[in-house]
A = this chain, B = another copy of it.
Amino acid sequence: MKKITVLILLLSFSAYSQTDDKEQIREIYTASLTNGMAYDWLNYLSNQIGGRLSGSVQAEQAVDYTKKQLDSLGLDRVWLQPVMVPKWVRGTPEFAYLETAPGVTNNLPISALGGSVATPLGGLKANIVEVKGIDELQQLGRDKIEGKIVFYNRPMDAALINTFQAYSGCVDQRYSGAEEAAKYGAVGIIVRSMTLRLDDYPHTGSMSYGDTALDKRIPAAAISTNGAEFLSTTLQLNPEIKFYFKQNCKQLDEVRSYNVLGEIRGTTYPDEVIVVGGHLDSWDLGDGSHDDGAGCVQSMEVLRLLKSTGYRPKRTIRVVLFMNEENGLRGATKYAETVKYQGENHVFALESDAGGFTPRGFSFDCSDANFQRILSWKPLFEPYQVHSFVKGGSGADIGPLKNGNIVLSGLRPDSQRYFDHHHAENDTFEHVNKRELELGAAAMTSLVYLIDKYGVLAQGRVTE
């Protein structure tokens, strides 16, 4: 009899709890979609501040603004974590043309890659050799490359459904293209922009010279996809054409910047920390609305929504707006170092850094046992069509937190439009849809709520 009573009690508790979760999540969504703050915050970040390259005035304004906004939420603690960041500046905008015959030129839209050196003061003019990838350099050999500009022109694969996969299959050209081409005596490189559209926007992004000696570093720029098509066609008609470009970028001394943090202290397990975040810096060409203004305001909104719906978390919920994801990852590194040094126990970290588009689900980097546990919550996410839960990478900023126990997760929005805007002049506020942004914030809040309520398994046992 006693056994039956306990069973009934357990059953009714479980049923109650599920209804409870359903209602709490419904409340979170309603609050986000009808009284959200994410869109207004993003409007300010994008239209009043703009592109926020590490070390820029705008990056510092973004630190001030987001800290003030967090201050206004009545959190238990809001603070700045100082971190030294690289300061690379673009200088006067780049300029490029193709010379098909002496005096016959066509301007082409280019943009220096982040971290690139400048061209000589008068610019750089040379013949071009087109390749589809780094591995072609060896086949061509020094003879065919020396003194020329290498033009990397392997496009993203449009047949792939997930555009991030298509990006991964190309980005080596941008990241390592200059380092590799320099080994064969190239004088500069031009990289086809990492986008699936044919348009006139060059898409910048980080690059590395690896161990290349300072005096052997060659300038590197992205060219728009239309520009790349034009260049490639013209080159086939006349391999002797020359390409001229001039860029004025410079690596300055490191400067002090900040991660922006805020937290609600947990009522029951304050020492267990749940992190939610995005990165506050962005490239300088657009205003960084999708990459990653969206992730920042969504992360801030998670704490605001928990508070506004009256939920008192058991664990400490912390928002971290990381500085310098784009060209150094210094904020993420500093944060993880501090966590380790202070012996903080992070049980869960969630990152939003894939654009403010309709969320489709989450990726999880965790043990099978934790993944099974999370999968059991899928029915709660189905009414919101955000129930694609997959195992996979989480995000660059929370990556350094990885250890045997922590559950890492990334919001997975629809990826189709992301690279239309990524690192380009058209990553701007008007391309973010309010509802899509808010649905992402609500999905993140719902997941954080469940993790907070039910805990995660650590070393085989649940922390709850």
Given contacts A197-B434, A436-B416, contact A383 B161 (CB under 8 A): yes
- How many A residues have CB within 8 A of the partner chain? 25
Interface string of A145-161 (1 = CB under 8 A from B): 00000000000001101
A75 nearest CB across to chain B (Å): 26
* A388 at interface, CB cutoff 8 A: yes
Q: Are B358 and A414 in contact (CB under 8 A)?
A: yes
Cross-chain contact A417 with B433 (CB below 8 angstroms): yes
Among A26-34, A214-222, A272-280, A297-305, the stretch that binds chain B is A26-34
The 0/1 profile, CB within 8 Å of B marked 1, for residues 236-260 of chain A is 0000000000000000000000000
A290 in the interface, Cβ–Cβ < 8 Å? no
Q: How far is the CA of A383 from the CA of B197 in the complex (A)?
A: 22
Q: Which of B163, B417, B420, B433 interacts with A416 by CB under 8 Å?
A: B433
Enumerate chain B residues within 8 angstroms of A433, measured Cβ to Cβ.
Answer: 416-417, 420
User: What is the oligomeric copy number?
Assistant: 2
Chain B residues with CB under 8 Å of A384's CB are 161
Report if A196 contacts B (CB, 8 A): yes
Please, how many angstroms separate the alpha-carbon atoms of A158 and B416 in the complex? 24
Assuming the A-B contacts A385-B360, A385-B388, A434-B197, are A158 and B417 also in contact, with contact meaning beta carbons closer than 8 angstroms in the complex? Answer: no
Q: State the CA gap A436–B34 with chains docked (Å).
A: 27
Instruction: Give the residues in chain B near A439, CB-CB below 8 Å.
Output: 161, 416
* Chain B residue nearest in CB terms to A33: B158
In the complex, A176 Cα to B39 Cα: how many Å?
Answer: 34
A282 CB to closest chain B CB (Å) equals 22
Whole-angstrom distance between the alpha carbons of A358 and B358 in the complex? 10
Q: Please tell me which one of the listed residues B30, B161, B385, B416 contacts residue A159 in the complex, with CB atoms under 8 A apart.
A: B30
A435 within 8 A of B: yes
The interface bits of chain A over 28-56 (1 if a CB of B lies within 8 angstroms of the residue's CB, else 0) are 01100110000000000000000000000
Chain B minimum-CB-distance residue to A36 = B158
**What CA separation (Å) do A416 and B442 show in the bound complex?**
14
Report how far A136 CA is from B392 CA in the complex, Å. Answer: 53
Q: How far is the CA of A305 from the CA of B144 in the complex (A)?
A: 42
Beyond known contacts A30-B159, A416-B439, A417-B435: 8 more, CB 8 A cutoff? A33-B158, A34-B158, A161-B385, A161-B439, A358-B414, A358-B416, A360-B385, A417-B433
